[in-house]
Structure 1
Amino acid sequence: MSRIVLNNKVVDTEIVSRTFPEGPGHIDAVCIYELADNKIKSAWFIMGKPVLHEKQ
């Protein structure tokens, strides 16, 4: 994960592991938060394409 903070905006990048209908895998995510009074006022999420893990 990485984080950038600029004024009242926070941008996080994450790799999210989950189980898709096709099986286990991961997805890249960018999360953008807007803060007001030390609370999240708004949030936006940008998701990449699912990557399935190879079966062992």
Structure 2
Amino acid sequence: LARHLGYTYIDSGAMYRAVALYVLQEGLVKDGKLMKDALLDRLDDIHIRFAHDP
């Protein structure tokens, strides 16, 4: 649909999973809860790259 309409398709589910992986790798979960302030402080450090897979 995105291609048909001339838009770039963004896989928001993949983006969500990438951030979740970052959170886990960086230890931003304490007692089963997201350390939201720590994540917000690091948002500029998260680099997600998507590549087209034909």
TM-score, scaled relative to structure 2: 0.31
Q: Which has the higher helix share?
A: 2
Higher relative contact order (CA 8 A, sep 6+): 1
